[in-house]
């Protein structure tokens, strides 16, 4: 491990409902890097994202996850979040009773331990929503309640930009989005890279979301194992020839 290492995953085995999904996975993400995880359905991509974020349904049975030099394998999700890990959910949950704006404010205050100045926060939130092409009225709507699929994903990116984590895991943030929404979300991700300078793990099927991003490393996941690794060129390769070329080797 060198000074710029942000996340190290060693021999990680993860069970879901007592069935092993990840069979000993290794991966290292440096500060400021963008990693892409691709693979066929059921490969274990979301499992990896959820295990890094600490989802209780994903039981780590062996191996370790180290973040900023600290072993976080046993840490609860909130402590991981406070340490700087963010997961953009594939299916964000609807939470009635708290508005999107109040929720984000609560989370930012929890994270920083400081009360925000409401006026500054509102201005910041509005500008960020504008960047994501979100109607400002969403700020005062209950968190994700009745949001369309696209608005839910935008709301995930909005939280990412407001919380400014050091590592963002995007779990199929592009799935189910129309082409304009994918562009908007990509713009948000670029903004995160430039303004926050954090690292990214992008889990994706399709690759339009990567347009305009520098990809440092691509990992191909199949049946709970990484079966191929490379740079940006691997993404294009998958786009041309699919996953079979790796799996059938």
Where does this chain bind other proteins (CB under 8 A)?
53-57, 59, 76-78, 80-82, 86-87, 89, 92-93, 95-98, 103, 106-107, 110-111, 142, 159, 163
CB-based contact 215:231 (threshold 8 Å):
yes
Nearer of residues 156 and 174 to other proteins, judged by Cβ: 156
Buried b or exposed e, range 20-43, using 16+ CB within 10 angstroms: ebbeebebbbbeebbbbbbbbeeb
Nearer of residues 23 and 82 to other proteins, judged by Cβ: 82
Q: Min. distance of Cβ 87 from other proteins in angstroms?
A: 5
Q: Min. distance of Cβ 210 from other proteins in angstroms?
A: 24
Nearer of residues 65 and 238 to other proteins, judged by Cβ: 65
Nearer of residues 81 and 202 to other proteins, judged by Cβ: 81
Q: Min. distance of Cβ 130 from other proteins in angstroms?
A: 22
Nearer of residues 49 and 150 to other proteins, judged by Cβ: 49
In the sheet that 5-16 helps form, which strands lie side by side, from edge to edge?
19-30, 5-16, 58-67, 70-71
Query: Strands, DSSP E only, in the chain?
Result: 5-16, 19-30, 34-38, 58-67, 70-71, 85-88, 95-99, 142-143, 167-171, 199-203, 217-222, 225-230
Residue 145, strand partner residues: none
Q: Min. distance of Cβ 157 from other proteins in angstroms?
A: 14
Nearer of residues 18 and 244 to other proteins, judged by Cβ: 18
Q: Is 80 left (phi over 0), alpha (psi -120 to 50) or beta?
A: alpha
Residue 113 CA, chain-centre distance (Å), reads: 23
Phi, psi for 85 (deg, rounded to 5):
-105, 135
């Amino acid at each position: 491990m060198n000074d710029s290492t942000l996340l190290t995953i060693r021999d990680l085995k993860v069970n879901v409902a007592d069935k092993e999904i990840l069979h000993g996975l290794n991966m290292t993400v440096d500060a400021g890097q963008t990693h892409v995880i691709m693979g066929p359905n059921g490969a274990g991509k979301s499992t990896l994202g959820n295990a890094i974020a600490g989802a209780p349904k994903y039981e780590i049975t062996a191996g370790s996850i180290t973040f900023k030099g600290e072993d976080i394998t046993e840490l609860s999700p909130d402590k991981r979040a406070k340490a700087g890990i963010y997961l953009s959910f594939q299916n964000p949950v609807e939470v009635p009773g708290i508005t999107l704006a109040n929720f984000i404010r609560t989370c930012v205050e929890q994270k920083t331990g400081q009360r925000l100045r409401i006026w500054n926060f509102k201005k910041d939130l509005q500008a960020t929503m504008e960047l994501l092409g979100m109607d400002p009225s969403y700020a005062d709507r209950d968190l994700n309640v009745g949001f369309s699929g696209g608005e839910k994903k935008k709301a995930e990116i909005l939280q990412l930009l407001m919380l400014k984590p050091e590592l963002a895991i995007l779990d199929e943030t592009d799935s189910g989005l129309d082409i304009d929404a994918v562009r908007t979300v990509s713009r948000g991700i670029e903004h995160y890279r430039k303004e926050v300078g954090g690292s990214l793990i992008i889990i994706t099927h399709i690759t339009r979301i990567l347009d305009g991003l520098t990809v440092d490393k691509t990992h191909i996941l199949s049946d709970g194992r990484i079966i191929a690794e490379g740079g940006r060129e691997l993404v294009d390769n998958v786009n041309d020839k699919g996953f079979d070329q790796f799996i059938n080797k």
